[in-house]
Amino acid sequence: MKRRRQRGLTLVELIVAFTIMLILTAMAVPLARNKVRVERERDLRYALREVRQAIDKFKDNCDMGYLGPQKLGANCYPETLEQLVEGVKLPGPAGKKMRFLRRIPRDPFTGTADWGLRSDQDDPKSTSWGGQDVFDIYTKTTQKAADGTSYSEQW
């Protein structure tokens, strides 16, 4: 018997269609991963810039004497990152506080607000904090950037 007006797809047509879909999906996955990595890098740069600007404002205000006398050996840098959030009590009877950050930003790679710290007396590439003051911060992630350098060394 002859079939009239056959409807549907043959097995070969289905295999070809699924193969094309598989190839397109396989090409899209690396692009999606790259996009996520680029967004995390952008967020990392923003977070680092925000904290570093707060550290610089703290240093500038301290150098101008607005924050009162500082501890010896601190070189007018904050003792901790929390000091930037909690603020520093200004000298005078008013008891006002000067704050430099609303909150410590989250590291987009580790997902926490735990940053690596460097004091002004530490080696610029050091991964251990001397504890004197907070001169700079870096991410604690072990991931590498697209060029093969570590994020903690790169920015």
Mean pLDDT computed over every residue of the chain: 87
- 5 located within any domain: no
pLDDT-derived band of residue 2, with 50, 70 and 90 as boundaries? low
- 4 located within any domain: no
- 117 located within any domain: yes
Rounded to whole angstroms, how far apart are CA atoms 51 and 119? 14
Mean pLDDT, rounded, for 132-136: 88
State pTM to two decimals.
Answer: 0.77
- 37 located within any domain: yes
Query: Does the pLDDT of residue 5 top 80, yes or no?
Result: no
pLDDT-derived band of residue 50, with 50, 70 and 90 as boundaries? very high
CB of 140 within 8 A of CB of 146? no
- 3 located within any domain: no
The SS3 assignment for 133 reads coil
pLDDT score of 82: 95
Reported as a single tens digit per residue, the pLDDT across 98-122 is 999 999 999 999 999 999 998 888 7
Reported as a single tens digit per residue, the pLDDT across 28-49 is 898 898 999 999 999 999 999 9
Query: Does the pLDDT of residue 94 top 60, yes or no?
Result: yes
- What is the dihedral sign for C-alpha 16, 19, 25, 31? negative
**What's the domain count of the chain?**
1
Neighbours of 81 (CB within 10 A): 21
- Domain residues for 66? 11-154
- 85 located within any domain: yes
